[in-house]
Chain A
Amino acid sequence: MMRLSTRFVNGCVSHSYVASTALVAASLSVLMMACGGAAVPPQELLDARSAYAEAAKGPAADLAPAQLDTAKQALAGAQQNFDEDGPNQETKDLAYIAQRKAELAAAEGGREKAERKRAAADKDLRNTQTQGLENFKKTKEALAAEKVARAEAERKASIAMASLAEIAKVKEESRGVVITLSGSVLFATGKSDLLPIAKEKLNQVAKALTDQGFKAIVVQGYTDSVGSASDNDALSMRRAQSVRDYLVTRGVPSEKATAEGKGASNPVADNKTADGRAENRRVEIVVTPEK
């Protein structure tokens, strides 16, 4: 310092200049000591610290602890070199390497995380494939079972219709399947109480209906045109209700069965002849199929 501060004035050293320079130098030394003489860390060391902090926050902490520890040691080495020798080239080199090691640890953590994610996805894929196959098998089995059930239902329905055809007229109309029972076999003249023979027939009807299955039935009572309309309406209603109630006692669900009195309306034969009137006195059961 003194050598650098030496100045010649007219070939001689200026003593006052030397004194002032020495004072400045001393002041600077005191200032540096007061500030601890701390050297500024090189950018490489700052980058290494930052890279390590970043890696330690990420998946490397759990998934690549060995690599993270290596990075930590490398960073400590660089830091120690800096503390002992300052920001020289060796510190920079060590910090450069420490930064790479920290980034490597982060990458290893990321790789491990991705590999675990992939393994989980592969497992998920296998489970989904198995589930898909099982669903397919179940659907196939369900379809086969449904086919068998449908065939069985059709067979039963066919038998039921055949048995019904023996005791009543069965006709398919737009309003549904119409089962027509003659009034003379069901009731005594002017009465609405079922005859014993009627019950036997209705037992068969009830069995056919429950075997076949249906959505709803409407029991409609009809009379011939003899007598007043109001009497005929009332009688037809009582007779329809009587049949409907009996069917319910034989297993037909009550909520699906209703009764209607139609009186002398909709005659199916001529009311002028005895045979025609007998045909018009009837009970029709209109069945709405399930589908």
Chain B
Amino acid sequence: MNVRTWVYWCISGTTLLACGGAPVPHDALSAAQADVKGAEVGGAGDNPKAALHVKLAKDQIEIAQKQISENDNEEALRTLNRAQADADLALALAKEAKAQADAAEASEQVGKLRKEIGK
């Protein structure tokens, strides 16, 4: 093999490696899984709407894992982005529901106390 041939194969090999498909979205997978966990810890299970989005996120993580196993990494990344959006929304909904319940309880306490004082 002369130098010219060697350079040709080097360039060809590098090009093939660079164009050999998207890398496995490990980070996106970990982030989506962590967000789902966060939503569950944040009380998403106590609110039906939040629970629905947790389920959507989990389903999509499962799909993404399948896509990764089929080397469809680009598609998997997009699916994981969707999953993460669902998990983040689930946590926000859970927090909102909790804040609303706390506010209602505080208002009720004020009402009760006023009633007692007014007696």
Contacts and interface: CB of A to CB of B under 8 A. Distances in A.
B85 A100 contact: yes
Contacts of A112: 99
Interface residues of A, number: 27
Contacts of A118: 99, 102-103, 106
Interface in B65-119: 78-79, 81-82, 85-86, 88-89, 92-93, 95-96, 99-100, 102-103, 106-107, 109-110, 113-114, 116-117
B100 A131 contact: no
B81 A97 contact: yes
Interface in A247-279: none
Contacts of B96: 107-108, 110-111, 114
A121 B85 contact: no
Interface stretch (A88-96, A155-163, A220-228): A88-96
Contact of B82 (A97, A104, A107, A128): A97
Contacts of A111: 92, 95-96, 99-100
A124 interface: yes
Interface residues of B, number: 25
B31 to A, nearest CB: 14
A279 B114 CA distance: 65
B78 A93 contact: yes
A96 B82 contact: yes
A103 interface: yes
Interface in A84-142: 89-90, 93, 96-97, 100-101, 103-104, 107-108, 110-112, 114-115, 117-118, 121-122, 124-125, 128-129, 131-132, 135
Contacts of B89: 100-101, 103-104, 107
Interface in B31-78: 53, 78
A132 to B, nearest CB: 5
Given A93-B81, A93-B82, A107-B95, A115 B114 contact: no
Contacts of A131: 117
B85 to A, nearest CB: 4
A125 to B, nearest CB: 5
B61 to A, nearest CB: 15
A115 B107 CA distance: 12
Nearest to B100: A114
A125 B110 contact: yes
Contacts of B81: 93, 97
A96 B113 contact: no
Contacts of A103: 89, 92-93
Interface of A: 89-90, 93, 96-97, 100-101, 103-104, 107-108, 110-112, 114-115, 117-118, 121-122, 124-125, 128-129, 131-132, 135
9 contacts: A89-B78, A96-B82, A104-B89, A110-B96, A110-B99, A111-B100, A122-B106, A132-B116, A132-B117
Given A104-B88, A108-B92, A129-B113, 19 more contacts: A90-B78, A93-B78, A96-B82, A97-B81, A97-B82, A104-B89, A107-B92, A107-B93, A107-B95, A107-B96, A110-B96, A111-B95, A114-B102, A117-B106, A117-B107, A118-B106, A122-B106, A128-B110, A132-B113
